[in-house]
Amino acid sequence: MPRYFTDEHEWIDVEDDSATVGITDYAQEQLGDIVFVELPEVGTALDKGGDAAVVESVKAASDVYAPITGEVTEGNTMLEDEPALVNSSPEEDGWFFRMSIADASELEGLMDEAGYKEFVDGL
């Protein structure tokens, strides 16, 4: 299952025609204790680069952008009661939402794991 990364610190797992999206370990560390995640409703049409979710710490709110174009198929309801999952397991249990893939070619512009690591090291 290939995993891609964006320069806005989102990760995206692709399995057949569905993708799972979350924020990276680096992102959660920058944000600090996550207190709330506002997820898009199922059925929401997302445009690549557009607002998709909001992740909040006590003193900051950050937008999470759609890494590709598609429609939201599922939100991680676990985060409603346990936003801390984003801190403890950002790249597994703390996933944000699943979406359809409108145009697989959009994935080509994203980074792979090694590329993202290099990107973060350069920050």
The binding site for another protein (CB under 8 A) comprises: 33, 35-36, 38, 56-61, 83-84
The residue among 14, 58, 62, 66 whose CA lies nearest residue 40 is 66
Nearer to another protein, 16 or 43 (CB): 43
Nearer to another protein, 28 or 57 (CB): 57
Least distance from another protein to the Cβ atom of residue 56, Å: 5
For the chain, the C-alpha Rg in angstroms (whole number) is 13
Nearer to another protein, 78 or 111 (CB): 78
Q: Please state whether 29 falls in left (phi above 0), alpha (psi between -120 and 50) or beta.
A: alpha
Least distance from another protein to the Cβ atom of residue 15, Å: 31
Nearer to another protein, 7 or 80 (CB): 80
Q: How far is CA 10 from CA 7, 79, 113, in A?
A: 7, 16, 11
Least distance from another protein to the Cβ atom of residue 40, Å: 13
Least distance from another protein to the Cβ atom of residue 8, Å: 17
The C-alpha angle 33, 50, 74, rounded to 5 degrees, equals 65
